[in-house]
A = this chain, B = another copy of it.
């Protein structure tokens, strides 16, 4: 049954991608390795041919999910029409579409409480991703002394993550919509 190196690498990538979606959908704790492997079309025994532990795939799946969020921000910034980068990204971020599809959405909104309690590697990956998001929406890279634009972006991103999270937490469809709409309007004004 051995697969070629190329196929194996492809399988590995596929598992990480599946994990990134499963974790965001069901939570890290809510996703058993057997479930994850089944969702990848494999049996659970093979997991350890690719990863040394659940912690490792958590880290890699977070890295992938964060990277795809950064890409989404890049896309939004490219397609902005007169608006600031932050406003352009916020417009795409604070939607019912995003709220209702956590599996392909922002990992911070989907997993924040779990990432806080994850190991150092995962938190480091998440922190880097957050800073990358800041860079992208401000259109300027560099960790040095935070400019006004950077500081604004940090606040706006925190706001977006909080609002999306609360729009999912809340039981009341109308309130959920209101949270998204009002936060969207608020950020558009900046």
A-side residues, CB < 8 A to B, are: 26-27, 29-30, 108, 110-117, 120, 123-124, 126-127, 130-131, 146, 151-152, 154-155, 157-163, 165-166, 168-172, 175, 178-179, 182-183, 186
CB-nearest residue of chain B to A30: B117
B contact residues around A112 at 8 Å (CB):
112-113, 165-166, 169
Q: What are 11 of the A-B contact pairs (CB < 8 Å)?
A: A27-B113, A110-B113, A112-B113, A127-B170, A130-B170, A154-B178, A154-B183, A158-B163, A158-B183, A159-B162, A161-B162
The interface residues of chain A, by DSSP majority, are classed as helix
Q: Are B151 and A182 in contact (CB under 8 A)?
A: yes
Q: Are B159 and A163 in contact (CB under 8 A)?
A: yes
CB of A119, distance to nearest CB on chain B (Å): 11
The 8 closest A-B pairs by CB, nearest first: A162-B162, A113-B113, A127-B171, A158-B163, A159-B159, A29-B29, A158-B162, A161-B162
B contact residues around A131 at 8 Å (CB):
175
B contact residues around A170 at 8 Å (CB):
123, 126-127, 130
CB-nearest residue of chain B to A151: B182
B contact residues around A163 at 8 Å (CB):
155, 158-159, 162
CB of A98, distance to nearest CB on chain B (Å): 14
